[in-house]
Amino acid sequence: MKNLSLPSVALLFALPASMVLALSGSMTLAQKPLVLHHHNAAHQPPGTIVIPASDFYLNIPEGDSNDGRFPAGTWFFNNNTINLGVVDDVATKIPVKESGVYHLFVRSIGTPTSSFHVKIGGKEDSGTYGQGKLAWQRGGDFALKGGGEVEVRLTSIHPRPSLNVLVLTRNAAFKEDDLKALELPPEVKLLHEYTIAPSNIVKFGDVDGSGKYAILDITNDYSTIMYANDGHELWRWDAPPTSRDDPRGNEAAGILWDFHHTGRDELAQWRESSDGKEWLVLADGRTGNVIKQVPWPAPPLPHVDNNYRMAVAKFHKDSDGPDTLLVFADTGGWIGLTAYDKDLNQLWQHAEHRLKDYFGHYIYPYDINGDGIDEVMISHLCLDANGKEIWNDAKYFEDNHDHMDAMEFFDMNGDGKPELVVGQSDAGTMEYNAQTGAILWQNQSDHTQQITAGYILANSPTPQAVANGRTYGAPTPRPAALQPGARLAGAAAGAGAAPQPGFGRQQGPADQIAISGGLAAQLYWFDNRGRLLERWPSNPLNGNPNFVRGNWYGNGKRTFFWFRFKLEPDGNGTLFFKGEVYHMFDFDHTGADQVITLEGGGGGPGGGGSQTLRVYGNANVVPHPKKCDAECRKLIANHTHY
Amino acid sequence: MPYMRAGLTARQQQMIAKLADACHLMDTLYWHQSDLGGWAVYHVTANPLMEQLFAINGSRWDLADRNSPILGEEPLVPGHELYPFGTTSAVIEKYAASHPELKAALYNPWTVVRSAPIDLAPALSQPVASVAEHLYTYPYHEAYARWLRPMAADLRAAAKLSDDAAFAHYLNLRAQALLTDDYYASDVAWLDLKNPKVDLIFAPYETYLDGVLGVKTSYGGAILVRNEAESRKLYLYRKQEAAMQQALPIPADDRPSKEGQATPMEVVDAPLRAGDLHYGYQAVADNLPNDPRIHAEKGSKKIFFKNFMDARVNNVVLPIAGKMLSAEQTKDVSGEGYLTAVILHEISHGLGPAYAQIDSKQVAINEAIGPAYSGLEEAKADVTGIFLAKWLVEQKLLPAAELNGIYASYVAGIFRTLRFGTAEAHGRAELMEFNVLLEQKAISPGADGRFTIGYAAMPAAIAALDKQLLLFEAKGDRAGVEAWFAKYDVMPQSLSQALESTRDIPIDISPVFALSSEARP
């Protein structure tokens, strides 16, 4: 038994567990907390300090939010705002290189009654900002001393104004248009921009043997569109109308893989025929034509739920890469993982009667024991290449809600073997012995669905785990224009529409930003023993973002990104991209990895429009192409997104 | 909780150290009955508040917050680890109907139920009960042998260190019982102990973990050191037990004689608790064993934990009374009144019907009542105790001036329990009692949010409620009990608002035992 360091008789107060746990962040610091520094999320020309809205996120008060739905057709610096939903001041500290008199400019928007003031170094500017339509306003002048930092404070807040960007500049003639060349950090370079139909999921593969990645878009109605690397549509398959008994749940399963070693990726995909039957289809990646189809490995429709996934695994030691297709079918009541060979012959199946989500949402093939053969995990069940149980933690977490959501395999303790770091729903962040399933540590991190791990912090001899802790705030009322069924003003209609100034975002009312509510998230930093190091930002940002990580600098080391931010070596985040990160691999064969962002489209009632898929690379990388081997291609193919 | 060595010989201290070893093993065993996932995370969580919550609750479910999970989203599993996941009473009943040869084992208080053989590789999960093809039962002494064997060895080693031959005999019998699941002989030996200086509770007695059938027991233990001064005060009650039984407001057939049963009572300090006595609700008294055969033959032993009661009264009960009762009646609440109510509660567990009469057959009351039994039995003990306080006054065995103090202390005790939550048997019982007394105008809310006790209305309301509860047990009226509790299971707004005023008062104590960490003698 553990001995608690408590008084001889501890008194138990009537705090609900949720309230007690909310205090945990401030009481768990068993290791020196992180010290977060300023990082520029914009170009900083001489004599000018650009202060994007994201600079204020570090100390964002509860009730404030970020971004939102921008007015139609309007450009926003960095595609980014801080929305001041509460009266609390928000402040940041900005480095000042040169001494001198700086002129303040403020770009902001609000409602007819909202406003805020600005204090620079404790001196309050006389201007009123954040009122009415988007405005670029000149403020007062401030004498700043170089070589130090100055506090910039947004104060006297009448909710809910939104700040886009502040500028302090010695150039009195600085113009709003001058900002457009200063967006994002200098190292970030937009390489490609694609407009695609609103997707349920996007996959990447070389379907024609050209060496270039095509883009597979399985849309919200489960139709399929294949775009070539230059963005033109190669082919599409239109799904039949949804039948009344077909719930068509949350996932559209599909994967691109060169099953027959032709040098061209084929498409394995779930399809439903017009007679309401479900099929596992193998199609030609160039045309979408069916090569073979077999019945989908699940009971006939209707189902309580559909959560379908696919992955490829290396189940034979002498294979030169993944050789087996894995199909996960959660119908809510019957859940199965089925293995197929390249010709869709079933190899084995593990099935159980469990409530939906019991085995999570993803398939994780990984060579846990280093024998050259993958094992596969679905939530707390670990199977070998023959479908035989290796370990199963059902005895610990028998409720379907407590499934493992996201997994990361990483050697956290330096013993040369990968541990399993898991974002496990409301159970928080957990580390397991990947070989045995034994729980090594746990900590709280709200509802945890995304996870990453690695040597991220500078000068740390041990790795860290970073969890995306998701919270559920009260949803902000939707403006009338966004009620279900309403058409979005200014939104592009369908594939091929021209990119919009709002960067594909859903659009808010013309005179103000519509602030999203509901889902929000923040990062929990843990050391390799599960001790909380820091949370960033101080309160959750709205959204349910993902992590990607890869070789951004081309130096062989991993750089980590979350949401729209790069995770800095001190634990802070710098806004790097205009959209949310979706995937990361060497899309352009430069020898470094690029970050793919995806945003917009909505897709649900009132959504529609198009999505924008961008490929960003590091501007300083000198291309030195490197072959993507089987393991590299496996990571690209098996990538998934919640 | 301090471990007071004064008055203990060196050999007694060595013996207590052995008993403490057994208690630590019992804690581990208890977790394997309660919550395997909670146990796994308790040991590794990097969050100190999570660790503390596990240490308080003995599971992932927060007893003070309506059993909401502190880890993940899994709602309270009614059968904990005693049954396969997803087991309901309907599953068991259906299986027992189709496998009559297994019925006795399925309903046995000392068996676990599994949906796969118990020697299945630990990696492999068991089917959920609703789709399992087979159910298997294993006696506790097999299922938990890993812990029971060393626990028995510790008890036998302690017996060798005991200078009290009767206590040594009891320890040896109890060690044997752990390995056979037959506690009868050791329970008899326990009741036969004569004022032992050191005593031990150590058995699977209570059924609080079994929300499926309400029959399967969880292990609980406590090391007891007799408080001589306080024990002498109990003499009054011991002499009256048989007469109290005959004073109950139910037919004579339902009042089996207690004549000649000199039921032992002890006031003790407990320097260490284990299992279900360690986690969750911190009892200040107990009445054991629960075997109805022994109740009928020898009665039971009442144990009052003086060190726990002192901590509760000083830190919880008196501050609550100050906030929830009218100013005039607050002064009626006292430590003495509370002690009397608690003593009478525990005596009353041993009073009333010994069996339920169903279709002219004797049926164990807990089996007849099912999952609601725990709440019913706690309510019966509460109300019978307060009924008997009035009877003691009428017999001039208690000063009449003390009665209102007992009523006030009883009501203050209800407030205390309800802050602890209503998920557990005591809380659910006392919410029902409060609602009935409110309905009968024996308790009234005041304009200032405080409550006033109608002292004049109290005796009749208590007598009527006591009769109802005793008859439920006598008739084994499961449907009646469930309907009764359902009717009185909602907390009135006046009460929840008044309880809000006590948020700054602890709802219970969370003991940390010096004996757990002290160096061995």
How is chain B split into domains, by residue range? 21-141, 236-262+305-508
Cβ-in-10-Å burial (0-12, 13-18, 19+) of B486 comes to exposed
Task: Tell me the residue ranges of DSSP E strands in A384-428.
Answer: 389-392, 406-410, 419-423
Rounded CA-CA distance A543/A560 in Å is 18
Q: Cβ contact (<8 Å) for B49 and A27?
A: yes
Alpha-carbon distance A11 to nearest alpha carbon in chain B (angstroms): 5
pLDDT attached to residue B315: 84
pLDDT attached to residue A9: 39
CB-CB neighbours of B69 under 10 Å? 24
Cα atoms found within 13 Å of the Cα of residue A155, Cβ hemisphere only: 15
Following CA atoms A76, A138, A125, A74 in sequence, which dihedral angle do they give, to the nearest 10 degrees? Answer: -20
Query: pLDDT tens across A13-48, in order?
Result: 444 433 333 333 333 334 567 889 999 999 999 999
B100 interfacial to chain A (CB closer than 8 Å): no
- Cα torsion angle, A37, A38, A41, A46, sign: negative
Rounded CA-CA distance A154/A87 in Å is 10
Rounded CA-CA distance A107/A109 in Å is 7
Q: Which of A12, A18, A23 sits opposite B507 (nearest CB)?
A: A12
* Interface residue of A5, A11, A12, A397 to substitute, partner B, most B CBs within 10 Å: A12
Q: Cβ contact (<8 Å) for A439 and B42?
A: no
* Interface residue of B39, B47, B77, B314 to substitute, partner A, most A CBs within 10 Å: B47
Among the ranges given (A607-621, B18-32, B200-214, B442-456), the one the predictor scored with the smallest mean pLDDT: A607-621
DSSP state of A410: E
What would the mean pLDDT of A114-118 be, rounded to a whole number? 97
Average pLDDT of chain B to the nearest whole number = 91
Cα atoms found within 13 Å of the Cα of residue B356, Cβ hemisphere only: 21
B519 interfacial to chain A (CB closer than 8 Å): no
pLDDT attached to residue B314: 79
Non-local (6+) Cβ contacts of B310 within 8 A are none
pLDDT of residue A331 exceeding 90, the answer is: yes
Query: pLDDT tens across A226-280, in order?
Result: 999 999 999 999 998 876 666 666 677 999 999 999 999 999 999 999 888 999 9
pLDDT attached to residue B519: 47
C-alpha to C-alpha distances, A592 to A557, A560, A583, A619, B164, nearest whole angstrom:
10, 14, 14, 11, 80
Among the ranges given (A27-36, A93-102, A220-229, B197-206), the one the predictor scored with the smallest mean pLDDT: A27-36
Q: Cβ contact (<8 Å) for A1 and B511?
A: no
The structural domains of chain A, ordered by start, are 10-39+405-476+520-543 (no CATH), 48-183 (2.60.120.260), 188-239+545-642 (no CATH), 249-403 (2.40.128)
- Residue A612 contacts residue A193 (beta carbons within 8 Å): yes
DSSP state of B230: H
Cβ-in-10-Å burial (0-12, 13-18, 19+) of A173 comes to exposed
Q: Cβ contact (<8 Å) for B47 and A444?
A: yes
Non-local (6+) Cβ contacts of A285 within 8 A are A205, A207, A208, A214, A226, A256, A264, A265, A266, A267
Q: Cβ contact (<8 Å) for B72 and A401?
A: yes
Query: Taking Cα atoms as reference points, which of A92, A67, A68, A64 lies closest to residue A81?
Result: A67
What would the mean pLDDT of A574-586 be, rounded to a whole number? 96
Q: Cβ contact (<8 Å) for A12 and B510?
A: yes
Q: Which of B86, B124, B512 sits opposite A6 (nearest CB)?
A: B512
Alpha-carbon distance A13 to nearest alpha carbon in chain B (angstroms): 4
Q: B56 by DSSP, 3-state: which?
A: helix
Among the ranges given (B38-47, B146-155, B366-375), the one the predictor scored with the smallest mean pLDDT: B366-375
Query: pLDDT tens across B328-386, in order?
Result: 999 998 877 888 898 899 889 889 998 999 988 999 999 999 999 999 999 999 999 99
C-alpha to C-alpha distances, A494 to A199, A201, A487, A509, A612, nearest whole angstrom:
11, 16, 13, 21, 12
Query: Taking Cα atoms as reference points, which of A531, A528, A468 lies closest to residue A27?
Result: A531
pLDDT of residue A604 exceeding 90, the answer is: no
State phi, psi for A586 to the nearest 5 degrees: -85, 75
Predicted structure pTM score:
0.84
Strand partners, B219: B204
What would the mean pLDDT of B174-198 be, rounded to a whole number? 96
Q: Cβ contact (<8 Å) for A443 and B71?
A: no
> Which pLDDT band holds residue A210 (cuts at 50, 70, 90)?
very high
Tokens standing for residue A235: 């082919």
DSSP-derived pairing of the beta strands B111-114 and B136-139: antiparallel
List all residues of chain B from 125 to 184 with a beta carbon under 8 Å from chain A. Answer: 125-128, 131
Tokens standing for residue B168: 């040594």
pLDDT attached to residue A502: 41
pLDDT attached to residue A517: 66
State phi, psi for B391 to the nearest 5 degrees: -65, -40
Query: pLDDT tens across B341-353, in order?
Result: 988 998 898 899 9
Q: Which of A207-216, A537-546, B394-403 has the highest mean pLDDT?
A: A207-216
Strand partners, A169: A48, A103
> Degrees (nearest 5) of the Cα angle B304, B349, B215?
110
- Residue A556 contacts residue A591 (beta carbons within 8 Å): no
pLDDT attached to residue A606: 35
More confident position, B480 or A73: B480
More confident position, B426 or B166: B166
Rounded CA-CA distance A333/A534 in Å is 39
Q: Which amino acid is at B375?
A: G
Q: Cβ contact (<8 Å) for A13 and B506?
A: yes
Q: Which of B24, B50, B419 sits opposite A1 (nearest CB)?
A: B24
Q: Cβ contact (<8 Å) for A4 and B52?
A: yes
Query: Taking Cα atoms as reference points, which of B16, B29, B279, B36 lies closest to residue B150?
Result: B29
Inter-axis angle of helices B458-475 and B425-439, nearest 10: 130
Rounded CA-CA distance A603/A220 in Å is 6
B502 interfacial to chain A (CB closer than 8 Å): yes
- Cα torsion angle, A54, A57, A63, A65, sign: positive
Q: Cβ contact (<8 Å) for A442 and B517?
A: no
Q: Cβ contact (<8 Å) for B64 and A12?
A: yes
Query: pLDDT tens across B409-464, in order?
Result: 999 999 998 886 777 778 889 999 999 999 999 999 999 999 999 999 999 999 99
* Interface residue of B42, B49, B91, B112 to substitute, partner A, most A CBs within 10 Å: B49
Q: Cβ contact (<8 Å) for A442 and B64?
A: no
Count of CB pairs separated by less than 8 Å, A with B: 173
Q: Which residue has the tokens 């919640």?
A: A642
Rounded CA-CA distance B494/B279 in Å is 30
Q: Which of B2, B46, B506 sits opposite A531 (nearest CB)?
A: B46
Q: Which of B37, B52, B503 sits opposite A396 (nearest CB)?
A: B37
B500 interfacial to chain A (CB closer than 8 Å): no
Strand partners, A117: A155
- Quote the distance between the C-alpha of residue A578 and its chain's center: 13
> Which pLDDT band holds residue A5 (cuts at 50, 70, 90)?
very low
Q: So what's the ipTM on this one?
A: 0.86
* Interface residue of B30, B87, B125, B315 to substitute, partner A, most A CBs within 10 Å: B125
Q: Cβ contact (<8 Å) for B315 and A529?
A: no
pLDDT of residue B507 exceeding 50, the answer is: yes
Q: Which residues of A touch B43 (CB under 8 A)?
A: 2
What would the mean pLDDT of A453-473 be, rounded to a whole number? 92
pLDDT attached to residue B420: 67
pLDDT of residue A481 exceeding 90, the answer is: no
DSSP-derived pairing of the beta strands A507-508 and A70-71: parallel
Q: Cβ contact (<8 Å) for A14 and B77?
A: no
Q: Cβ contact (<8 Å) for A9 and B36?
A: no
pLDDT attached to residue A518: 75
Non-local (6+) Cβ contacts of A60 within 8 A are A66, A82, A90, A537, A538, A539, A541
Q: Cβ contact (<8 Å) for A21 and B70?
A: yes
Q: Cβ contact (<8 Å) for B509 and A11?
A: yes
Q: Which residues of B touch A381 (CB under 8 A)?
A: 125
Burial A584-615 (b: 16+ CB within 10 A, else e): bbbbbbbbbbbbbbbbbbbbeebbbbbbbbbb
Strand partners, A10: B510
B41 interfacial to chain A (CB closer than 8 Å): yes
- Quote the distance between the C-alpha of residue B269 and its chain's center: 17
Share of chain B above pLDDT 70, in %: 97
pLDDT of residue A475 exceeding 80, the answer is: no
Average pLDDT of chain A to the nearest whole number = 87
